[in-house]
Structure 1
């Protein structure tokens, strides 16, 4: 590739930080690669792979320690400002000003980038049309949904026309509908303006849209190529198993993923389990493992190759597998056959705005129950009421046999809670975090020391590690351990896998499956629709209304005819059908 065809050229690039133990941490380790002009290029890799560090070096925000790095033909180490004048960069936490309106945010970033007044009107009109924010220019950014905030962040990033756009996991925490709209905008920019885009992502279906994919691991390049070329690595190794009617897909998935000598990966999908066998595996050895499930080959995909690369790397590094948790439920368990959560006609209003409208459902002991919905749908409000963090405006809400209107404090003692942002104290060690949270849950003395020791062993934690500097998957395990110290009978998980790589997500769900088997009830919100397949039942909300409630199969059947036939397609179809019905009602009332 000639220099004129490349927007980024890196040679033996290195960036080193001091590790918590005092030794060097090679975030980027002798990396050599080039990014082609006018294309959409992806960086993928597990937590700690170096994706954000690399993007920040390309943006001129971090200086390389060694090697060469040219961006748009300029040595970024020698002249970072020249590079920054020609690129746009959207970090994971883009700095919107929440008290300012959509239009005021656009104006502010146009001022910061020195966009001439005569160019702004045309640029604004195009960006507002692409992002569908034209109707909301007067709304404060803080009042937008998560998906709308991401689209506004992208619009602010593009107020000037860059030669290179850098996006660091732009769809983290964004629902499938908003994620689809975000990628439509990015693809439109590449197709219409021949914009060069480099994006890091935790979603393999997003990476599959790209012309070139770079797979990073611990600062090194494991593989690169087009998605089809990378997927070829898994040719002949990929299968789909359909379990017997009496076996949940997640149980078959757990059985397969535990057999890591034979199986490289397994994940529920559309009521079945997609899995990858290890190279050289005797297919006859799979019979007993599959437990009577029907099995047939399927076409290999990019995620299959990605998971194989990561598993192979872990094997070569002789890393122990993620710990498998055999957790026990709390002492105060609901009577057999009785629901542990009862919701009747639940309503929550903020002034004249109804966030949750007359919602009813029950959750049984040991059940995994998923609360799904687009950003701004009301699921977080519902979730916070179930946890006792927010009082209901009206309706009946019972958790662990206790009425939350009259016994909220007692109910909280029977639940564990993992927030989306992992409410850990970054300056404290793993042990210090666990001791703090154990004390907050009422554990003292010998009982506290024993429970801290138990969860450190169960979750494979280093008690001396500083929690603020460990990778996201590690923080997730620590947050989960902290929430289980007091052995709750109900565990609430608020988007716990947001921004976590596929390998860490598999380990997380293996833990959740074990907790469910031990009698712990799990309530979870997630934007990864593949994770809905692990749930016994799911509820889909939008605009405060319940659109669907049932098993994953029942929800897929409700969306019969949705393209793809998987949960992602079903989710989008159900939300779009619900919104279309709402519009018809509104139009009828207006007429």
Structure 2
């Protein structure tokens, strides 16, 4: 086995190095010069993408993944270095390169007022696909994506997973030599993600397609033949998934929290240990990595817990690479983007030993839902759903794309009226007093939804005023949340110029400025790398410990492990409700991962035969 090589610009050349790759990058440097600053996006990259394989780019927000893909497409030119695609110099022949590849960016441009078939026709014309081969190509792609029954449906009325499938089909209306996919499964549920990867792997087999994909999901990167890990525009390591897993060999352990302690609380305590490189809830325990001896960790000694060794995963090697690199970079300027979110906000105090205990039966009910129904014409989006959420609880709303969870979420927020049923939030009836109820609610949207043209301070001042704060109280709360989320140094920066990690901080600060009882989070970690997700959940752990009730939707099923309880919906119906441990016990699969649990529940409800 070829070992992963680490270090500045380090690569592992393909075993058949004598054969040029579909992409050959040598000494690639990209510098963005702006009016007030200069950013080095890529620093001396040497990278080879082999023919007929799937190669992954992984790294935190701001690592340079999208910049590199845009260079490969010929959409921008490198500052220095040589870049060849399919034997062509990209700088000299950008149009010929674009004719040889297909590119699906993060926001692929489907035309939502056109049907599935009309979108395919449009992209076929744009790509110059001859009419005599179009129908055969369409039939093949529609069968592969299981969209043949929906050719007359408007793209805007497709579920998220179906939209991604259609985007991939439109990208592949011609047979390219190279397919570039920039985070193609962001915002897509596990069932749809698996289906997309089956399609992709089939295309590689049938057409010897070469694929370069960037992804925030380590389980997707693990399906690729080779993986490049980027950070701050540099390659930290390159190898097969097995090579990169090996970097964490002998460093991975699992520990089950004591009775009554939430897994997110034990995770938070472990992450505060200097010797712990990473910790995350997974498969009913907290998985952590350390180069030391686990019995020497104070958290485990105090709680009298014994850790068991685990086989390393790709994510373990990835996190160790990033943490080691961040440690090397810590003496320089603060890291931007997601890498800057490696620590929990300073102003929030660490929870005490009892913090994070799941809400007791006697805790006040903050959200009460009884027989909730939502109809759109004759379509039932939510069917007779009932549940409670108690103060300080972290409660997850999960389900496939189009399952009804977003509709349920919007009704709980007061953004959408219910057709029938009882819905009380913070003691207020949402059907009769939505404005009053919203005063107790903070909301973080899936997409960054603050005012890009306003500075950090101006956004906070605006949203504080919108929540009824003014004068000394408003100034006091702005100062508090800026301290809490480490935004003071960014106070005068326009929101649309913030790195992704800081945008997330600002969204959280704006949602919490009026100190709401309940915080609604709509896929807050969508498209965010594992490094930033760890820091985000440390924030949520502390907010919950202080009594804030958290309602969250997510397509990262592993995040269900952080919830005290969660529910899964499909086709508007509630399929399951309970704690992670209760739901595992119900299925009889104590050690299963949450992706497998989710797929099993949904497919069993649909009459499938999945065995999680």
Q: Please state which band the TM-score falls in when normalised by the shorter chain.
A: over 0.9
Matching of residues 70-219 of structure 1 within 5 Å:
70-219=84-233
Q: 1:409 aligns with which of 435, 452, 461?
A: 435
Q: Is the CA contact 2:177–2:209 (under 8 Å) kept in the aligned structure 1?
A: yes
Q: Deviations over 1:41-77 (max 9, x none)?
A: 0000000001011101101111112111111110111
Q: 1:558 aligns with which of 569, 581, 586?
A: 586
Q: Is the CA contact 2:381–2:404 (under 8 Å) kept in the aligned structure 1?
A: yes
For residue 570 of structure 1, give the secondary structure of its aligned residue in structure 2: helix
1:581, CA displacement in angstroms?
7.9
Say whether 1:322 aligns with 2:340: no
1:155, CA displacement in angstroms?
0.2
2:4 alignment partner in structure 1: none
Q: Deviations over 1:140-184 (max 9, x none)?
A: 000000000000000000000000000000000000000000011
Matching of residues 356-395 of structure 1 within 5 Å:
356-395=382-421
For residue 607 of structure 2, give the secondary structure of its aligned residue in structure 1: helix
1:302 alignment partner in structure 2: 314
Q: Is the CA contact 1:323–1:460 (under 8 Å) kept in the aligned structure 2?
A: no
Q: Deviations over 1:468-493 (max 9, x none)?
A: 12222221111001100000000000
Q: Is the CA contact 1:74–1:83 (under 8 Å) kept in the aligned structure 2?
A: yes
Q: 2:300 aligns with which of 283, 289, 299?
A: 289
Cα distance in structure 1, aligned partners of 2:295 and 2:411 = 51
Cα distance in structure 2, aligned partners of 1:536 and 1:396 = 23
1:503 alignment partner in structure 2: 531
For residue 468 of structure 1, give the secondary structure of its aligned residue in structure 2: helix
Q: Is the CA contact 1:378–1:541 (under 8 Å) kept in the aligned structure 2?
A: yes
For residue 580 of structure 1, give the secondary structure of its aligned residue in structure 2: coil
Q: 1:470 aligns with which of 484, 498, 513?
A: 498
Cα distance in structure 1, aligned partners of 2:313 and 2:601 = 26
2:29 alignment partner in structure 1: 14
Q: Deviations over 1:432-455 (max 9, x none)?
A: 111111111111111111111111
Q: Which range moved further: 348-357 or 3-12? A: 3-12
1:31, CA displacement in angstroms?
1.1
Cα distance in structure 1, aligned partners of 2:373 and 2:572 = 9
Q: Which range moved further: 242-251 or 566-575? A: 242-251
2:549 alignment partner in structure 1: 521
1:266 alignment partner in structure 2: 279
Q: 2:595 aligns with which of 568, 577, 580?
A: 568
Q: Is the CA contact 2:104–2:184 (under 8 Å) kept in the aligned structure 1?
A: yes
1:560, CA displacement in angstroms?
3.1
Say whether 1:439 aligns with 2:453: no
For residue 5 of structure 1, give the secondary structure of its aligned residue in structure 2: coil
Alpha carbon RMSD of aligned pairs, Å? Answer: 1.9
Cα distance in structure 2, aligned partners of 1:216 and 1:464 = 30
1:578 alignment partner in structure 2: 605
Q: Is the CA contact 1:323–1:458 (under 8 Å) kept in the aligned structure 2?
A: no
For residue 341 of structure 1, give the secondary structure of its aligned residue in structure 2: strand
1:192, CA displacement in angstroms?
2.1
1:331 alignment partner in structure 2: none
Matching of residues 340-355 of structure 1 within 5 Å:
340-355=366-381
1:561, CA displacement in angstroms?
5.1
For residue 234 of structure 1, give the secondary structure of its aligned residue in structure 2: coil
For residue 366 of structure 1, give the secondary structure of its aligned residue in structure 2: coil
1:428 alignment partner in structure 2: 454
Q: Deviations over 1:333-392 (max 9, x none)?
A: x99632010000000000011100000000000000000000000000000000000000
Q: Deviations over 1:218-248 (max 9, x none)?
A: 1111111111111111111001111222222
Q: Is the CA contact 1:250–1:268 (under 8 Å) kept in the aligned structure 2?
A: yes
Q: Which range moved further: 249-258 or 75-84? A: 249-258
Q: 2:477 aligns with which of 446, 451, 459?
A: 451
Cα distance in structure 2, aligned partners of 1:45 and 1:25 = 17
Q: Is the CA contact 1:326–1:518 (under 8 Å) kept in the aligned structure 2?
A: no
Q: Which range moved further: 363-372 or 265-274? A: 265-274
Cα distance in structure 1, aligned partners of 2:163 and 2:459 = 32
Matching of residues 244-283 of structure 1 within 5 Å:
244-259=258-273, 261-277=274-290, 279=291, 281-283=292-294
Residue 391 to residue 556, structure 1, CA distance change in 2 (3 Å): same
Instruction: List gaps (5 residues or longer) in structure 1.
Output: 329-333, 583-591
Q: Size of the alignment, in residue pairs?
A: 573
When normalised by structure 1's length, the TM-score is 0.94
1:287, CA displacement in angstroms?
5.8
